[in-house]
Every structure is written in structure tokens, then in C-alpha cells.
Structure 1
Amino acid sequence: MTAVPSPTRLGRGVHVGYALGSVGTAAFGTVPGLLLLFYLTDVLGVAAGIAGLVVFAPKAWDVLLNPWIGSRSDRTASRWGPRRPWMLAGGLALPPLFVLVFAGPGAPPGAAAAWVAVTFLLAATAYGCFQVPYVAQPAEITDDPGERATLMSWRVAVLALGILVAGAGAPAVVDAFGGGRGGHLAMAVFVALLLALGMLGAVAGTRAAPTLSRVRSEGRLSATVAVAWRARPFRVLLTGFVVQALGIGVMLAGVPYYSRQVLGDPAAGSLLFGALVGPAILVMPLWLRVSRRLGKRSGLLLASALFVVGATGLAVGDAGGTGLVLALVVLVGIGYAGMQMFPLAMLPDVIAADEAASGQRRAGVFTGVWTAAETLGLAVGPGLLGGLLALAGYVSTTGDDVVAQPGTAVTAVRLGFSVVPALLVLASLPVLARYRLDPQETP
């Protein structure tokens, strides 16, 4: 192995360039979870149970795909480094594929669902080509854990801004273009532009970032995945993070239903989403200070507790109570910001500790398993909500038709936006409390 001295500090240009990728992450990670289930049930007339399966199945494919992408990027040798060629491929392919998801037939519901399932599968594949190498980069461009926390604070701040723009902007574009299939197609073009800006911007913005030399990992994919899973800090962190991603996925998918069925104001969806992700931009410096004073694990537990308290309170929301709901969602958003920043800052520490101990470059495998599990959690969330709505008798519609929902369905919407996410995040706390990484293991 030829060692290349690595700087412990990264320039501001690298911070910003790397963070740009979170615009793409935000757009693809948020908009399908926010609008795709609703698009299937309330625009295309697909039954709620089938719609939940359509949203879930393509993401389940990532469980197999993403570790393979990670392993292949570990072995990639190019003048661009091991990650950026894959990021470029994903950044070029995903924007047009995302438009195709919403450009299919409107009827019959079976054909419409099949089109969405296939195109969403292809889009998820392209996203994996970008996201897995992107998440692997921090462990390779600096050996300073504090610098990684700073890098992640930039990333999560831009992630929050991207989620705000995509999550609040996408429904606004749908409404501006008249709703229905036409409005959703216009929204897809808007989101595709965000995807291209963020993903291709990260490829260009990290061109000056150093890459630390590592011994190549030449083992079989199954063997290296098993090694990653046997790393206790990684396993504990991943398990807790996925449970939290499941809760967040349920909440995001419930936004348009909660605003329409509980608050009685479809336009409140954009306000709810802004209140959820807007605080992250302001509180990120606070969470970074908490990280340096209390440690990343303690910060993550504190952020998660705030999320649980705020989400539980949302169960009392009702028509006319939008002000109280927004205040509670702001509290949820403050916790959500920390729940995003801390695990993303802890993951490179785990990867670096493994590489220091093994001498092998396995960052891609670790991040492949990580993004596969995260994607699965976010995908199961809408699927879980879809199943809950189906059991509660939710009535699907086509176009702009409005129907009265049974009381059981409204109750399911209420619980799906509040108690269910709170219970899932609460369940993650005992797991995350077991996370330990000896500082001496972190280079």
C-alpha cells in the first residue's frame, strides 16, 4: 500500500461541493415518499394496498443492488477516484427516469400501477449508483472525526434546504399546474432539475477532494457484507437508523392525507412540510455544538426524544388547530435535523475505524449496506401506511374527485402521522443507546 498524507481539514469549496449532493438526495428521498402513494391512490385510482406494494417493491430491490454497487465502487480505479464515476452515471440517468415515473398511462389502474412500478425500479437503480458512492466519500477524504462532523453539518443543512425546496415546492407545482396527472408530470420535471443540479454539482464540487489510499478489498461481496455486519458499532447504528427511517417514512407519506383528512385543508401540506424541515437549517449549528460537547451518540438520543414528544402530540390535531399542529411539527423538525446529522457523522467514524484495523477499503460495502437498509426503511414506511389505510377502509379516487372517508380511515391517517412514527423512533432508542466506538479506534 502506498500511503498518501491526508489533510485533516477540507476547504470550504469541498464542504459546499459535497453538500450539493444532498439536494439530489433530498429530492429523490422525499418526493416519492411524500407524493407517490397519494398519486397512486387519489389520482390513478389504485387500491391503497396495491399502491403501498408498488412504492415498496422497487426500493426492496436496493437491498440487493446497493451492496453490489458499493463493492464495485470499492474496486473502481480511475483518475476521478473510486466514487465519482458512479456518481456521474447516477446523476445523468436519474432525472429523465424520474420524469418517466409520472409520465405513464392514467388508466386502467392496473396498467398505471405497473408503469409506475417498473419506472420507479429503474429510477431507484440510478439513485443507488449515485448515493452509495456519495455516502462513502467522507471516510476517504479526511481522517479527522471532527472534520467529518463539520462536513456532515454542511451536508445536512443543505439536505434540509433541499427537502424544504423539493418537499414544499413539489406539491405547489402540482397545484399550480392544475393537479391530476398533468400537475404531477410538471412536478416531476421540476424535481428532475433539482436532481440534476444536486447530483452533478456534487460530482463537480468534489473534484478537488483528496482520496486516501487504501488496500483494496478483493473478497467476495457476500463475505465483505458479512464482515460489515459483524462490526458491532456499524450493526447497532444501522439497526437504530433504519427503525427511525421507517418512522420518518410513515410520517412523510402521511403529510397530504393528514392535511386533507384531519386538518381539512389540503393546502396545509406545504406548511406542514416546511415546519418539519425548515428548522434544520437554523438548528444545525446547535446540533454541531451538542456533538462537540456531549458526543454524537448523546446528541442523537436527545434529538430522537424531541421527535417522539412532538410526534405524539400530533395525535390531538384537528380541523381549526393548524397553529398548534405547526408548533408541534417544528419541534419534530428540530429533532429530525439531529436524527439526520448524527448518524451520517457517526457512519464515517465506523468505516474509518474498520479500515484502520483491517487495512482494507470497504467504505463502499459499508455504505452500500447502509443505503440499502435506509432506502428499505423509507420505502416500508409508505407501504406500511398504505396497508394501514387499506385495513381502515380508505377509499381511493381518480383525478380530482373528493369522497367522504369513513371514520376508521381518518383515524388511521391521524395515527399514521403521529403515534406510529413516535413509537418507531421510541423503539430505536434502546438500540442506539448501545452504540459504542472507542475513540482510540477512530483515526
Structure 2
Amino acid sequence: MSDTSSGLPARLATSTKAGFGLGQVAGQLFRDAPSLLLMFYLTNVMGIAPAIAGTAIFVPKVVFGAIFDLWIGVASDRMASRFPRRRWLLVGGIAAPFAMLGVFAVPEAAIGFQVAWVFVTFSAYMAVYSTFSVPYLAQFAEMSSDPVERTELMGWKHGFTGLGVLMSSSVAPMAINALGTDRNAHLLTMGSIGVLCFTCLFVAWRFASRIPEPAQVAKAFALRDLPRAFADRRFAVLCLSAVIMTVAAGISYASFPFFVKYAMAREEPLHDIGVMSAIMAFAVMAGSPLWVMISKRLGKKRTYVAAAAGHGLVTLVWGYLPDAPIEVAYLLAALMAACNAGWGTIVLSLLSDAIAGARLDYGENRAGSYAAIWSIIEKAGIALGGTLVVGAILSSFGFDSAAAKAGLPQSSAALAGIIVSYSTIPGVAKLIAAAIIWRFVHERPADAPNNADIIHA
């Protein structure tokens, strides 16, 4: 049975939802694997100074990533009648193994050539990432005319996000550790991840072919709408908090391997990272529905503040306990991930409230513009924190890449810099983000005409 106005089926088969949702595993692997491992690999295996390595990653990830996202979004809209959106998944899937392997295939050569290699291959990597990630996300809004079913589709997507986190942040580092932690271990693991990405995107493409294309093509995203989007104070406040949170998350994420290896002095850091990442992944999946229930009792603002502040406090505490037993680290990892599930879930709910408020106040549907801006903030914030900021902090505290490559210990100043990078700066930043939401977000009463939050700036 189909919706005659849109050409879309009224209900999708469960196998179709699951098959298309599997594509999210590729998106998560592309986002998380380099964020966690690339900086550590370039400094500890290839011997590149952290500030130089961070710069080589930053420009492709932030500048080119934003350009590619916008270009692919516009192109996939304009070409939809001639080149169905699902075909972008196949294009990205075919290129995925080469993109994933190329970034880590840094040759043994002069530093200048190595940096150029990272810059070029990571630029290509971001282009491939945009090729499938933007059309994939856009398709969720086009697969069904039933808003309830679209929510179910996002549920499948969220479930496969957890699987992607397990593969990228747990299985991948543990595999590298088991294979010897050298250059070949990274290449074999990343090549395998690339093949897995192709498989997931191929399956998603096949199942997407079961779904009729929408009768009406969405209007292309217009860059001229950006200034008016930021004139919406509700959205601007959320963007400010998101910038702080994502930069902090990027700093902490990229610093994690350094913290485990040097501050915690673990002999097999990648193995331990794999175990802790698995704990985090399960805590995120289990914590999300719990925070939804809490928000019904406390309200969104209080729930966000509690989760974000809790995340910041756990991060700060962990920095003071690097020598604690590994079981304490496991507990802290679970608490941190549970809090992450809270603020991550609620901030997206606040974003949807801002979109609904803009529709009421301005008579415009700004969902696409707001979502595109939000995506760029997330990518740019994580990239800024995980490359330039981490590289600058570690270098300023005297982290020695040559000593790291030779397996020698770091100085006490370098260890202090690692703790500042992993714990102090991200912890304080998350508390600041919580304070911004506490100060500027005010929820309307439940019986108000519009239940969207009011945000004063």
C-alpha cells in the first residue's frame, strides 16, 4: 500500500529498515576510526610531531569537509531525478576501502612528503565520507510519509550507531594491538574496516532500491539562508553550546590513547582502549532511553545540565586518578558514556524544538538549513579539538614524538600536558556548556500553546 501523494509505501518491511540502517555502521566507522587512531598513529608510529600532524589533518577535515558536505547536499538534490540519491551510497562504498587505507599508508619518507601525503589522502577521505554520509542522512526523511515510521527508522539508525562505535573504538584498536601495533598492523586493520564499510553501504544501497523515489525533489540548500539562521537566538545559543561541547569532545577523544599509554602507564593501551570503548558503547545504548524518562520528570533543561555537568565532572576526576586500578577506569568510562548519552540525546531534542519554534515564529521550515549547520559544527568542532588543539597542547608541554616512536618514556611536563588535554580542558569546557544551557534556555509550561523551549540570548 502506498501514499498516493508521495509515491512512498505506507509501511516498510522490517528487513528493509534493518538493511538500510546497516549503512550507519559505515558512517560511524568513517567518523570514529581516524578520530581515535590517526593522531596517535602519526605521532607514535610514524614519528611526526603532534602539532604538524594535527595541522595536516585539520584543514581537510574542517575546511574541505564542510565544502564537500554542502556540495554533495546540493548536488544530490539537484540531480535526484537523473541520479537517485541511493546511488551515492554505492559510489561512496566502492571508494571507501581505498580512502580508509590511503590515509594510514604513510610512506617512510621525509617529513614534508609524509605531511603532504596525509593532507592529500585525508582530503580524499573527507570527500568520500561526504559522498555517502550526506545523501544517506537525507534519505531517512524520504523513505516514508509516516512520521511514526520515520522515528522507527531513526531507532534502527541509532542501534547500528552503537555497533559502529564497537567496531571503530573497540574492535579496531584491539585488532591493531593483537597484530603488533606497527605500521602493517594499522594498514591491515584499516583495510579490513574499509571493506566492511563497502559491505554495509552495498547492503544499504540494495535495500534502498526497494523504496520508491519521492515524487517531489527537495529544494536545494541555499547558502543565503545562513545569516538568517544565526539571527534566531534560540538556534544561536544551541550552536554556541554545541561548539564548546564538540571541541571538548574532540580534544578528549584524540587525547585518550595518549592518556591510557602514558598517564595510566598501560602496557597494552590499544587493548585497554578497546575494552573501555566497548563498555562506553553499551553504556550509551543503555543510557539513552533512561535519560528520556528522566527528562519527562525533570524537564529537558535540567536533564541536559545534569548530564553535561556529570560528564565534565567525571572527566575531571579521571584526570586525577591515572594510577587507579583498571577497574576504576572501567567504572569511570561507563559513567562518562552514560552522561554522554544524556546530553547527546537531549541537545538534539532541543534542536528540534528550535526548528519548531522557527516554523511558528517566522513561518519558515528551516529544518534542512539548521541540520546542515549542525552537522558542520559537529565535524568542525571535533576536528578542531582533535587535531590543532591537541597537537598544540602536547607540543607546548614537550611531548617528544621521537621518544614515542622509539618506545622511550615522556617527561613529567609532557605527562602533565596529556592530563590537561584529556581531562582538565574538556572537563571545564563541558561545565561551561552546561552553564550556557542553564542560563539561556527556559522551558515553557506543559500547558502552553507551544511546548518548544524558549531560549533567551
The match for 2:374 is 370
- Which shifted more, 395-404 or 346-355? 346-355
| Matched residue, 1:258 | 259
- How far residue 86 of structure 1 moved from its aligned partner, in angstroms, is 3.0
Residue 325 in structure 1 maps to residue 325 in structure 2: no
Match of 1:70 among 73, 78, 82: 73
Q: AA paired with 1:16?
A: A
What is the aligned partner in structure 2 of residue 386 from structure 1?
Answer: 391
1:165-202 Cα offsets, whole Å, 9 max, x none, are 21111112222222221111012112213322333333
SS of the residue corresponding to residue 397 of structure 1 reads helix
Letter in structure 2 aligned against 1:416 = S
* Pairing partner for 1:277 from 281, 287, 290: 281
Match of residue 160 from structure 2:
158
More deviation, 110-119/317-326:
317-326
1:127 aligned onto 2:132: no
> For residue 183 of structure 1, what is the aligned residue in structure 2?
185
- CA deviation digits over 1:379-428, x for unaligned, max 9? 11222111100000000038852122111110111122222222222222
- Contact 2:403 / 2:410 at 8 angstroms: preserved in 1? no
Q: How does 1:22-421 map to 2 (within 5 A)?
A: 22-60=24-62, 61-78=64-81, 83-141=85-143, 150-208=152-210, 216-217=218-219, 221-265=222-266, 266=269, 267-290=271-294, 299-344=303-348, 365-383=369-387, 384-397=389-402, 401-421=406-426
Aligned-residue offset at 1:346: 5.5
SS in 2 for 1:34: helix
Decide which of 412, 427, 431 is 2:432's aligned counterpart: 427
Change (3 A) 1:167 1:361: same
Would you say the 8 A contact 1:245–1:377 is kept in 2? Answer: yes
Q: CA distance change for structure 1 residues 210 and 409 in 2, over 3 Å: closer, same or farther?
A: farther
C-alpha contact 2:51 2:391 (8 A) present in aligned 1? yes
Structure 1 Cα separation of the partners of residues 296 and 347 of structure 2: 14
Cα gap change, 1:159/1:381 in structure 2, threshold over 3 Å: closer, same or farther? same
Whether contact under 8 Å (1:291, 1:299) holds in the other structure is yes
Counterpart AA for 1:404? P
Bigger mean CA offset, 298-307 vs 29-38: 298-307
Distance 1:241 1:201 in 2: 33
Post-superposition shift, 1:306? 2.6
| Structure showing greater relative contact order (alpha-carbon pairs closer than 8 Å, 6 or more residues apart) | 1
Q: Does the 8 Å CA contact 1:149/1:288 hold for their aligned counterparts?
A: no
Question: How far apart, in 2, do the equivalents of 1:232 and 1:215 lie?
Answer: 30
Q: Give the Cα–Cα distance (whole angstroms) in 2 for the partners of residues 374 and 301 of structure 1.
A: 19
Secondary structure of 1:418's partner? Answer: helix
Counterpart Cα distance in 2 of 1:41 and 1:20:
33
**Deviation of 1:257 (Å):** 0.7
Q: Distance in 2 between matches of 1:416 and 1:439?
A: 42
Q: What SS does the aligned partner of 2:376 have? A: helix
The whole-number CA distance in structure 1 between the counterparts of 2:141 and 2:299 is 19
What secondary structure, in the 3-state scheme, does the structure 1 residue paired with 2:38 have?
A: helix
Answer yes or no: is the 8 Å Cα contact 1:389–1:412 preserved in 2.
yes
CA gap of 1:145–1:89, structure 2 versus 1, over 3 A, is same
- 1:191-218, Cα deviation, whole Å (9 max, x unpaired): 2133223333333344455776667536
TM-score, with length taken from structure 1: 0.85
Q: Which moved more, 1:98-107 or 1:137-146?
A: 137-146
The amino acid of 1:63's aligned partner reads A
Q: CA deviation at 1:32?
A: 0.8
Question: TM-score, normalised on structure 2?
Answer: 0.83
Counterpart amino acid of 1:382?
A: G
Change (3 A) 1:128 1:368: farther
The one-character-per-residue Cα deviations of 1:75-127 (angstroms, maximum 9, x if unpaired) are 3323885x423333323323311111112312222212211111011101111
Give, as a single letter, the amino acid of the residue that structure 1 aligns with 2:203: G
**Does structure 1 conserve the Cα–Cα contact (< 8 Å) formed by 2:77 and 2:217?**
no
Q: What is the rounded CA distance, in whole Å, between the counterparts of 1:440 and 1:210 in structure 2?
A: 34
* Structure 1 residue 281: Cα displacement: 2.5
Quick check: 2:404–2:410 contact (8 Å CA) kept in 1?
no
The answer as to whether partners of 1:174 and 1:184 remain within 8 angstroms in 2 is: yes
Moved more, 233-242 or 260-269: 233-242
Which region of structure 1 is more displaced relative to structure 2, 394-403 or 343-352?
343-352
Could you say what the CA RMSD is over the residues aligned between the two structures, in angstroms?
Answer: 3.5
What's the offset of the Cα at 1:366?
A: 3.9
Letter of the aligned partner of 1:304 in structure 2? Answer: A
Percent sequence identity over aligned pairs:
30
